[in-house]
Structure formats: structure tokens, C-alpha cells
Amino acid sequence: MQLIRIGDKVVSPERIHRMVDRILELRAQGHSQQEVADILEVDRTLISRLESLGEMRKGKKIALVGFPVKNGPELADVARAEGVDFVLLMSDRERVDFARNQNGIEVLNQVMRWIARARACDAVIFIGSDQRLKMVEALVGPQVIGIEIGRSPMTHDVYVSPDEVRDLIRSVKG
């Protein structure tokens, strides 16, 4: 292990690299800067500054949100490979478990955080039923681009073409 002395401190570059990797991993998973700061017990501005140092692109912020999706992990991989900023995909089971495993206040708070993150994006690709699409458009605004996968109420998962999602993301990015 390499150590570097800086004044009275002894610093491990390997530890710094591991911490930066963990910060980026958590951010790529969709956690906010503040959530990552809380998890790792660091200042949120550290995370912001690290991201600024490594930023490769400015431009449209895109979100991909959808439920009930059968192939969520596959679509999430496509979205991340295309540089989507916020991904939230759930199967019907995950959606039900989310609602059942928390109290009402926790559910409401999390949903409000998700809405805020989506509203901060320039475009939100939403995958869902006809009625859910209308609700998301009302909550998030005109930046919603819908992929309707059925009529409400939906209680089964729907396979969504990764190629269709990839093409839509690319067209939104211009």
C-alpha cells in the first residue's frame, strides 16, 4: 500500500480511489448527492466538486421511469449506457412491496423525492398505463414522453423493447 505524507497527515491514495468509486457507484444507482453524502458521512459539496471535475457532458437531463415493467434491469442497463440521469423502473411485485414495506408518510416522502428528481430533468420518458401516463404528465409537466403499455388498472408486468427505449433516448438527446 502506497502512503503519501502531506504535512502532519499520512494519506492513502488507494482509499481515496475506493471512496470516489463508491460515490460514483451510488450516484449512478440514482441516489442524490445528499443521500450519498449521508451514506458515506461526507460533505455534499465534496460530491458536487468531484462530479464537476469529471463531467464529460452538459445537455439535456433525461429520466426513465416506468412500471409495471417485466425487464427493468435490462432497460436500466440500456438507459445508463445511454447516459440517462435518473432511472426508476419497477415490476408490479416491486411496486407492491415498496408500498407495503413502508408507512404512508415514508411512501409519500419517497414519491415526492422521485417527482422532484423527474421535474429537474429536461425530458422524462415514462413507461406505464394510460391513466398513470396522464397522472405523470399532470405532476411532472410537458417534458413527459410516454410509452403506453396498457390500460389501467394493470397488475401484470409488461416486456418493453430495449431497442425502442434506446432509440427514444437517442432521439431525445438529439
For residue range 82-112, list pLDDT tens digits in order.
999 999 999 999 999 999 999 999 999 999 9
The C-alpha atoms of residue 40 and residue 35 are separated, in whole angstroms, by 9
Edge-first strand order for the sheet with 123-128 is 86-89, 62-66, 123-128, 144-148
The residue-averaged pLDDT of 37-58 equals 83
pTM comes to: 0.68
Is the pLDDT at 58 greater than 70? The verdict is no
How many degrees, rounded to 5, is the angle at CA 82 between CA 161 and CA 154? 35
Q: Which domains are present in the chain? A: 4-54 (1.10.10), 62-173 (3.40.50)
For residue range 158-168, list pLDDT tens digits in order.
999 999 999 99
Q: Is 151 helix (H, G, I), strand (E, B) or coil?
A: coil
Pick the range with the lowest mean pLDDT from 58-67, 138-147, 148-157.
58-67
The residue-averaged pLDDT of 169-173 equals 91
Query: How far are the Cα atoms of 14, 48, 78, 97 from residue 81, in angstroms, in the given order?
Result: 27, 22, 5, 28
Q: Which H, E and C letters describe 2-50, residue by residue?
A: CCEEECCEEECHHHHHHHHHHHHHHHHCCCCHHHHHHHHCCCHHHHHHH
Choose among 125, 114, 111, 16: nearest CA to 60: 125
What pLDDT is attached to residue 53? 81
The C-alpha atoms of residue 86 and residue 65 are separated, in whole angstroms, by 8
- Secondary-structure breakdown of the chain: helix, strand, coil percentages, each rounded to the nearest 5: 55, 15, 30
Choose among 164, 168, 125: nearest CA to 143: 125
Element at 124 (helix H, strand E): strand 123-128
